[in-house]
Structure formats: C-alpha cells, structure tokens
Amino acid sequence: MVRFQNLARFPDIGSNSYLLEFGETRVVLDAGTHPKHTGTDTLPLFEKIEPDSVDAIFVSHPHLDHIGALPVLMRQQITAAVAMTAPTMESGAALLHNSVNVMKAQKRELNEPAYPLYTHRKVDEFERLWFTREPGEVFSVGHSDRVECEFFPAGHVQGAVGIQMEWNGKSVFYTGDVHFEDQTMTRAAEFPEGKVDTLIIETTRGAHPRDPGYTREAEKRRLGEVIAETIAGNGAVLIPVFAFGKTQELLFMLHELRNEGIIPHTPVHIGGLSTRMSQIADRHCDLETRNHRHFELLEDFEDLEILPRGHREPEFHRGEIYALSSGMMSEHTVSHRFARRVLAEPEHALLFVGYADSETPGGKILAAGQGGRVQLNSDQDHETPIKCRVENFDFSGHSPREQIADYAVSRDPDTVVLVHGDEPARAWFQEELQRRLPNSRVLIPQPGEVVDL
Ligand SMILES: [Zn+2]
Ligand SMILES: [Zn+2]
C-alpha cells in the first residue's frame, strides 16, 4: 500500500511538505516554511508524523517554501537520510543561515517568542548529515521495503529536481517546482516519460492562461530597451531581485543584452547575499543543466560592482544599474534602502522582474505605479510619491499551466495530486485534468488529509 499525506499547513503555496508511505518505508518530500505567516505557523504539520519514524527526506530545491523547515524536521527525525543535489545543498545551507538572521531580527520586531526556530550551529551540524545525489543516479532508501529513487532536472532554479520513486511495482513522480522551457541560465526540465501510477504536481500558475504572444526573448528585449532609455536619460535603474536564482538569471540577461548591443556597458551593482549566491552558482558553472557553462559571474561579468557590507547609505550613481535584494523590497533589505532615492526623480526607473506580493513595499509600488504614492515603512504614516518610471516584467521560473497539464496527461496517471497552488489555481487543474483524464482520480488534498494511492 502506498499512502500520501499532505503536511502543508494551509491550502496554498508555502510550507510545502508531503509524507509518502511505501509499506514500512516513510519518505518526506520537502520541508518548507510559509512566507506569509510567522512563528510556528510557518511550519508544516510535522506534529502529524511520529518522532523518529521517517526513513528519508528529499529536498527538491532550496527555496525556503521547500527547505526552510528542514532543521526543525531533522530535529524530530534524527535517523532520516536527507538527500538533495549538490547545488541545492550549498545554496540551501546559505539560505537557511540567512533565514536564522531574518528570524532573529523578526523576534525583536514582531515580538515572536518562537524565533529563531533553529540556530546557525544547528544548520551547520545538520548540513554535515545531508548527502547528495545527482540526476542520473539511481539509489534506494528504507529498510525491508526499499524504495528506488531517481532525481530528474526540473528547470526552475539551478539544481532543482523532480523525484521518481518506485516500490513494489508502484510508481510515484513529484514535480517539485518546474519549468519546461529554458531560462537564461537554467535549462528546461528533463522529466521522465511513460506511464506513472501517481503524479504529484505543482499548480502555481493555474489561475492564469498562458499569454500566446509571450516569449522570454521579447520580454528580455523590452527590459533592455527600458534600461537603455533610462541610462540615456541620465537615470539610475533599480531592479529588486531575490538573491538566489533571479539575481543570477538577471546578470546573464544583462550580459546577453550588452553583447546584443541593446544596453550600454555600465556598472552593475549587487550586494550582500546575492554575492554569496552568485559565488555558489559559479562553483557549479560546469553543470550540464545550465546555459553559459563555464562563465563565472564574479570573474567574467564586466563592471560588476559589489556593494560594501553594512553601509546604510551606499553610494548611488546615475547611469548605473542596481540589482539588489530583496525582490519584494521588504523592509531592512538593500533594495528597500535604495527605494527613496529612486522614487524621488522621474529620470530613474524601478523594474520588477519577479513576483512581488501585494502586501510588500514592492507590491504596493507596482499597484500604485508612477504618479501614485506608497507607504514604505510600516511604522510610519508618511507616504512617498512615486515619481520614477515603474515597470513589471514576466520572467517566471514556473511553467505556464498548459505545459504542466500536457505533461500530466502524457504520463497517463491513475491518480494526480494537486499541490503548491492557490485555490483557483488548483481548481483549474482539477477541471482541466479531469476532463482530459476521465478515468483518473484528480485530487486536491486538504492540509493533513491522507490519501491511499
Ligand atoms: Zn521554488
Ligand atoms: Zn515553491
């Protein structure tokens, strides 16, 4: 008997974690935190798993909604084997350390007694217990009931994988977060084909159809044109970006745009965690799952400037590009610190290249647009006028819903389990897949729900 339990605490994206039981063998897929909650509410429903009962934990990729709760789970499941790819291991450890710092700051600010949920020392201690497996290696976990496992490149971010598991003639495939098309650096997913019994799929973009006119290449060109116009007008460009993944994708886009003659050679500034994450990407620059192989950002990218650490008011130059984290311009981050100067003058441009939640300063600026006003600090009533140009670009690391649905249909599954999506997103997938797979079960398991497969 194979059994699935949804350990996500809320029916949306965040705190991803799923328990699979293959006979006596118990495997947990991902252990993420929820970005919109605080304290122990950010954790998956780990209280549903008996302590020290899990044989293996797999991490699909190092975004915090997949790895952020791993130290908490490991504390409860001390003998579980923890596997991920080598790039995920390095980026994941760095992001967990950063998350300790963020939790410590939030402990004071939000008066959250549970924070930090783990310490730097625990992250170091646990990291030594992780082991790596790469796509192409078949391995097995468990004791009497061995489960055969294999990772497959998932696109999305460097090192991300989908996970195929087989036991007793039954097969399960978990997509994790997936992109079936090449990004600038990260190449498209290479997922297995053929019949699978159970498919667990992400549904992030389920609420919106793919724009038939969209191409990543045209979107990149539009970004380049706005940058070129801003620099020609003696303005500065601020691009708020997530330190891991998006920063490296953006740097490669800027590199290509320079080579194509669309933007001029002008200094590009990065800082803080982005530097560390780019270093890790450089160490894995020979990966077959990436474009621009052997190009090291910190070595080979011309005019890359690293912002000095800890400066509250770093220097700001017209005609230059600032690619700074965080992507949503959250308070106490470098991109937030630069916001006031960029917003103050119409020559500057503020360009969004990733998702910004509507509750964050970035999301509020996007909603108000040029000519609007925004409250940048939550503890002040003061509103700042938005005088600069504001533009939004779509470089999503997730596949459009149609591609994921096509993949699901191609594997002819008996059961499809829909995860990692808001309610309308999962609802679209359920309707679409039920129509195209009339003999399959298409399920939306609620938090804590158990499903026999
Ligand atoms: Zn992700
Ligand atoms: Zn995710």
Tens of pLDDT along 254-300? 999 999 999 999 999 998 899 999 999 999 999 999 999 999 999 99
Query: 245-267 burial by CB neighbour count: b if 16+ within 10 A, else e?
Result: bbbbbbbbbbbbbbeeebbeebe
**Which ligand is in closest contact with the Cα of 30?**
2
What's the CATH code of the domain at 98?
A: 3.60.15.10
33-59 pLDDT, tens digit each: 999 999 999 999 999 999 999 999 999
For the chain, report the end-to-end CA distance as a whole number of angstroms: 7
Can you give the residue range of the structural domain that contains 60?
Answer: 2-208+397-452
**Average confidence (pLDDT) over 210-231:** 97
For ligand 1, the distance from its centroid to the CA atom of residue 154, given in whole angstroms, is 10
**Band of pLDDT at residue 380, cut at 50, 70 and 90:** confident
CA–centroid distance, residue 63 to ligand 2 (Å): 6
**For the CA atoms of 421, 422, 424, 430, what is the dihedral angle to 10 degrees?**
30
Rounded to an integer, the average pLDDT of 316-338 is 93
Mark whether 335 and 438 lie in a shared domain.
no
Distance 61 CA to ligand 2 centre (A): 8
Query: Based on the structure, what is the number of domains in the chain?
Result: 2
Mean pLDDT across 157-179? 98
Per-residue pLDDT tens over the stretch 328-354: 999 888 999 999 999 999 999 999 999
The confidence score (pLDDT) of residue 313 equals: 66
Is the confidence at residue 431, as pLDDT, over 70? yes
Single out the residue in 373, 392, 411 at which a domain terminates.
Answer: 392
The answer to whether 197 touches 170, Cβ cutoff 8 Å, is yes
Ligand 2 centre from 285 Cα, in Å?
Answer: 23
Kindly report, residue by residue over 382-401, the tens digit of the pLDDT: 999 999 999 999 999 999 99
Same domain, 183 and 88: yes
Among residues 344, 364, 392, the one where a domain terminates is 392
Q: Do 351 and 402 belong together in one domain?
A: no
Q: What average pLDDT does the segment 222-236 reach?
A: 98
CA–centroid distance, 176 to ligand 2, in Å, is 7
Give the confidence band of 144 by pLDDT, cuts at 50, 70, 90: confident
DSSP 5-28: EE--SSSSSSS--EEEEETTEEEE
Averaged pLDDT of the chain: 96
- Could you tell me the distance, in angstroms and rounded to a whole number, from the CA of residue 86 to the centre of ligand 1? 16
Confidence of residue 146 (pLDDT cuts 50, 70, 90): very high
Q: How far is the CA of 372 from the centre of ligand 2 (A)?
A: 31
Q: Tell me, in angstroms, the distance from the centre of ligand 1 to residue 326's CA.
A: 16
Q: What is the pLDDT of residue 378?
A: 86
Whether the pLDDT of residue 221 is over 70: the answer is yes
| Residue 155 pLDDT greater than 90, yes or no | yes
**The predicted structure's pLDDT at residue 308:** 85
124 and 253 together in one domain: no
Of the ligands numbered here, which is closest to the C-alpha atom of 12? 2
Q: What is the pLDDT of residues 416-429, one digit of tens each?
A: 999 999 999 999 99
Residues 34 and 169 in one domain: yes
Using pLDDT thresholds of 50, 70 and 90, give the confidence band for residue 315.
confident
Q: What is the distance in A from the centroid of ligand 2 to the CA of 13?
A: 7
As to burial, measured by CB atoms within 10 angstroms (0-12 exposed, 13-18 middle, 19+ buried), residue 380 is: exposed
Instruction: Compute the distance from residue 398 Cα to the ligand 1 centre, in Å.
Output: 8
Q: What share of the chain is helix, strand, coil (3-state, %, to 5)?
A: 30, 20, 50
Confidence category of residue 311, pLDDT binned at 50, 70, 90: low
Same domain for 132 and 20: yes
pLDDT for the residue 312: 65
pLDDT at 86: 98
